Amino acid sequence: MHPLDLFQYCPVCGSPHFEEHNQKSKKCRDCGFTYYINPAAATVAFILRQRAKDKGLKEGAELLVVRRGKEPAKGTLDLPGGFSDLYETSEEGVCREVKEETGLTVERTEFLFSIPNRYLYSGLVVHTMDMFYLCHVSDTSEVCAMDDAAEAMWIPLQDISPEDFGLESVRQGVEKFLHFFTI
């Protein structure tokens, strides 16, 4: 089902003549309003810590992962992140989500890449644009799983298996991220 199929009435005038305009929009035949469907902004955080001081980043780095405490994909691995709120930048959103899920304070973010995604939420498929960030934190010792993260753990990069991540876009993002360290 296309997301626009859920909209039966014009949100401006209430007319039932709210019809397909093109693949991205519906238009009201009565008032002329055109509604375009766009992806929701979502963020994902890669947080690394260096354990072995005498090794390179690839060999000595660990990635912070969380275990999902809620559906979809409850019980699988994930990365801290979530939806951006109204009036907040994507960078502010990823910092807030990291704080809510792990207790860590992000000091600096670096945008890496984005992946379009579909996220099942309360029975509705939400199209998202997942933005992946490398997040820098100064103190990694006080990690605590909170909010919708059931568990938080550090896993050495060489032990990360993308197939353990339950959400498709995060799995793709982890594969892409790990590829950076194998070049």
Q: What is the pLDDT of residues 72-81, one digit of tens each?
A: 899 999 999 9
Mean pLDDT computed over 144-149: 93
Q: Which letter does DSSP use for residue 5 in this model?
A: G
Peptide bond preceding 72 in cis form (omega within 30 of 0): yes
Q: Are residues 74 and 89 in the same domain?
A: yes
Could you give the CA distance from residue 10 to residue 5 in angstroms, rounded to a whole number? 12
Q: Are residues 68 and 115 in the same domain?
A: yes
Q: Are residues 32 and 85 in the same domain?
A: no
Q: Are residues 27 and 59 in the same domain?
A: no
Q: Which residue has the higher pLDDT, 74 or 60?
A: 74
Could you give the CA distance from residue 177 to residue 112 in angstroms, rounded to a whole number? 9
**Measuring CA to CA, which residue among 60, 103, 59, 58 is closest to residue 80?**
103
Q: Are residues 155 and 69 in the same domain?
A: yes
Q: Are residues 32 and 79 in the same domain?
A: no
Q: Are residues 91 and 16 in the same domain?
A: no
pLDDT value for 55? 53
Q: Are residues 83 and 127 in the same domain?
A: yes
Q: Are residues 170 and 82 in the same domain?
A: yes
Q: Where are the beta strands (DSSP E) in the chain?
A: 18-22, 25-28, 34-36, 40-46, 48-50, 61-68, 77-78, 81-83, 108-121, 124-136, 149-156
Q: Are residues 27 and 55 in the same domain?
A: no
Instruction: Answer yes or no: is pLDDT of 154 > 70.
Output: yes
Q: Per-residue confidence at 51, pLDDT binned at 50, 70, 90?
A: confident
How high is the mean pLDDT of the chain? 92
Instruction: Answer yes or no: is pLDDT of 97 > 70.
Output: yes
* CATH number of the domain to which 114 belongs: 3.90.79.10
Total count of domains within the chain: 2
Q: Per-residue confidence at 68, pLDDT binned at 50, 70, 90?
A: very high
Could you give the CA distance from residue 33 to residue 28 in angstroms, rounded to a whole number? 5
| 68 DSSP β-pair partners | 149
pLDDT value for 52? 59
For residues 38 and 89, is the Cβ–Cβ distance under 8 A? Answer: no
For residues 67 and 78, is the Cβ–Cβ distance under 8 A? Answer: yes
Instruction: Answer yes or no: is pLDDT of 56 > 60.
Output: no
For residues 102 and 145, is the Cβ–Cβ distance under 8 A? Answer: yes
Q: Which domain holds residue 15?
A: 3-36
Instruction: Answer yes or no: is pLDDT of 58 > 80.
Output: no
Q: Are residues 15 and 81 in the same domain?
A: no
